[in-house]
Chain A
């Protein structure tokens, strides 16, 4: 891989709201892939866990993890500042996108018993992309970072590919900020398009979904409202324009990440 001048890189920030840092760990879980990203495509210009930049700077892409406690005024200011300072805001992981486990928060714990109300970031600011998952998959974070680079710095052809790739994730952000295993009921089974493939059951991080009689059955007391099942379901979105090129796109991402034929 030829060395690129720093000026061509995009800037990425990691903004930590009420999250668990597991989303950041997922980014780091790309191992050498993260270094390739940082060497060639992006500067991490803000990330309290990893770097000593105190205030949210201007950035091309904000990877925001965690939801927002509306009883904590610093948090509310932070999310507004992230929107103001970022070209693209990504709700990284299910807390930012859908609230996830913080949906169940209700206050009453020391030493801030009044910290009781949490909302997904999309309830307070416009969000460009949802990247759900608890945790979000490392490969998806890598793909979004590479595609954001191509969108902002690529040739026209690369921009077109990146826009096509990112579109369903943008559509997810437009669709709303609520998620639950019930999405499979409302938007797949009730719509008459479930075909019993079992993807939802594999995607669920808490094994709340079993396939009974060819259809998903959701144990809603186990469900943590992460939205992975619906997002991963091939009948939530299935964009043929991108999917029909799966082989070429996988190869392009591998090439971008310096992975040849192994």
Chain B
């Protein structure tokens, strides 16, 4: 079950070229939230907006398509989206909250729904949780070192960053591409990512990511009744182009392989933590 429970999996991309112009892959998150917003399925979404430094995201409660557009693109650093989940139901007054997050953030959302301790009124107001595939994340200073020192690109001239095919790539506004082997980035990974046992956001309503689909397209899992229903309505309304995942390369085999690799490696880390000291270990949150 390395891919979690899901009802359906396709390769897809947004139908709106304006969304695709600056989306990381197939524009799934932006397009699906835009659809849900227009249809009244959500009345706002917590997304990774622009922070005060280049490529430093900040959680934003987006209530317009324009605000959603601002949040397009992957920022390979921490954006504490769940920090806004209660506020979205308070001063923002939302009744139907959308949230996008990495697998750990979607786990946090589900825990807040099933075991709400400081989260009054949150459980019933989560209308659409979109999860993004995530292998690991980096603290901002780690990302800065990778981009500025290793790739020799200024953070402010980067227009896109991407991890794929064993490389970390930075694209600049003037058309240059700078790449380093992923191996060089490992030491900058956030330590807390090494105990994570979820690659494809198993607990989301809909999860999406680049792996498995061609460039410009995304792999999309629909997982819950809510996710299936919203996705179905969006397809019916013509918001996405889709292909059966079986018809695209590299397809689900690669997703399964990377998910298995991540879980196997991190399970080993968890096992090692149990006997990290001498007759003593470190805490395991899962037991």
Measuring CB to CB, which residues of chain A are less than 8 angstroms from any residue of chain B? 26, 29, 131-140, 143, 165, 168-169, 187, 191-199, 201-205, 211, 213-214, 226, 228-229, 231-240, 242-244, 246-247, 249-250
Query: Which of B105-113, B149-157, B159-167, B237-245 binds A?
Result: B105-113
Determine which of A214, A229, A233 lies in contact with B140 in the assembled complex, contact meaning CB atoms within 8 Å.
A214
Expressed in whole angstroms, the Cα–Cα distance for A232 and B116 within the complex equals: 7
Expressed in whole angstroms, the Cα–Cα distance for A237 and B285 within the complex equals: 5
Which chain B residues numbered 200 to 226 have a C-beta less than 8 Å away from chain A? 202-203, 224-225
Output the nearest chain A residue to B81 by Cβ-Cβ distance: A198
Known pairs A202-B85, A234-B108, A244-B202; A193 contacts B118 (CB<8 A): no
Give 20 A-B contacts (CB < 8 Å), ordered by A residue. A133-B118, A137-B118, A139-B120, A139-B123, A169-B115, A192-B195, A193-B195, A195-B104, A198-B81, A199-B85, A202-B86, A211-B83, A213-B140, A238-B107, A238-B111, A239-B286, A240-B197, A243-B107, A243-B111, A243-B114
Chain B residues, Cβ within 8 Å of A239: 286
**B189, chain A: closest CB distance, angstroms:** 11
Output the nearest chain B residue to A29 by Cβ-Cβ distance: B120
Chain B residues, Cβ within 8 Å of A201: 80, 83
List of 10 A-B pairs having minimum Cβ-Cβ separation, nearest first: A198-B80, A198-B83, A203-B118, A228-B118, A214-B78, A195-B192, A196-B78, A137-B116, A201-B83, A211-B80
Expressed in whole angstroms, the Cα–Cα distance for A243 and B83 within the complex equals: 20
Known pairs A192-B192, A198-B84, A202-B85; A238 contacts B286 (CB<8 A): yes
Q: Is B77 an interface residue (CB 8 A)?
A: yes
Contacting pair A196 B140 (CB below 8 A)? no
Expressed in whole angstroms, the Cα–Cα distance for A138 and B202 within the complex equals: 27
Given contacts A137-B119, A198-B80, A232-B116, 13 further A-B contacts (CB under 8 A): A135-B120, A137-B121, A137-B122, A139-B116, A139-B123, A165-B114, A193-B192, A195-B193, A197-B82, A197-B104, A198-B82, A199-B82, A229-B118
Chain A residues, Cβ within 8 Å of B190: 195-196, 214
- B122-157 vs A, CB cutoff 8 Å, 1 = contact: the mask equals 111000000000000101110000000000000000
Chain A residues, Cβ within 8 Å of B4: 244
Chain A residues, Cβ within 8 Å of B86: 202-203
Expressed in whole angstroms, the Cα–Cα distance for A136 and B108 within the complex equals: 17
- B55-89 vs A, CB cutoff 8 Å, 1 = contact: the mask equals 00001000000000000000001101111111100
Output the nearest chain A residue to B141 by Cβ-Cβ distance: A213
Contacting pair A131 B225 (CB below 8 A)? no
Per the CB 8 Å criterion, the residue count for chain B at the interface is 54
Output the nearest chain A residue to B285 by Cβ-Cβ distance: A235
Chain B residues, Cβ within 8 Å of A193: 191-192, 195, 283, 285
Expressed in whole angstroms, the Cα–Cα distance for A117 and B195 within the complex equals: 41
Output the nearest chain B residue to A242 by Cβ-Cβ distance: B114
Contacting pair A246 B117 (CB below 8 A)? no
Q: Is B49 an interface residue (CB 8 A)?
A: no
Known pairs A213-B139, A214-B139, A214-B190; A202 contacts B82 (CB<8 A): yes
Determine which of B117, B124, B192, B285 lies in contact with A140 in the assembled complex, contact meaning CB atoms within 8 Å.
B117
Determine which of B118, B196, B202, B286 lies in contact with A232 in the assembled complex, contact meaning CB atoms within 8 Å.
B118
**A8, chain B: closest CB distance, angstroms:** 26
Chain B residues, Cβ within 8 Å of A246: 110, 113-114, 203
Chain B residues, Cβ within 8 Å of A231: 115, 117-118
Q: Is B282 an interface residue (CB 8 A)?
A: yes
Chain A residues, Cβ within 8 Å of B84: 198, 202
Contacting pair B59 A198 (CB below 8 A)? yes
Chain A residues, Cβ within 8 Å of B26: none
Chain B residues, Cβ within 8 Å of A143: 114-115
**A177, chain B: closest CB distance, angstroms:** 16
Output the nearest chain B residue to A227 by Cβ-Cβ distance: B117
Expressed in whole angstroms, the Cα–Cα distance for A235 and B86 within the complex equals: 19
Chain A residues, Cβ within 8 Å of B59: 198
Q: Is B101 an interface residue (CB 8 A)?
A: yes
Determine which of A135, A140, A214, A226 lies in contact with B115 in the assembled complex, contact meaning CB atoms within 8 Å.
A140
Chain A residues, Cβ within 8 Å of B122: 137
Contacting pair A192 B120 (CB below 8 A)? no
Expressed in whole angstroms, the Cα–Cα distance for A229 and B80 within the complex equals: 14
Output the nearest chain B residue to A194 by Cβ-Cβ distance: B192
Expressed in whole angstroms, the Cα–Cα distance for A77 and B104 within the complex equals: 45
Expressed in whole angstroms, the Cα–Cα distance for A196 and B193 within the complex equals: 10
Known pairs A197-B81, A244-B203; A202 contacts B113 (CB<8 A): no
Which residue, of B4, B119, B121, B203, has the highest number of chain A Cβ atoms within 10 A?
B119
Chain B residues, Cβ within 8 Å of A232: 111-112, 115-119
Output the nearest chain A residue to B195 by Cβ-Cβ distance: A193
**B85, chain A: closest CB distance, angstroms:** 5
Determine which of B124, B191, B195 lies in contact with A139 in the assembled complex, contact meaning CB atoms within 8 Å.
B124
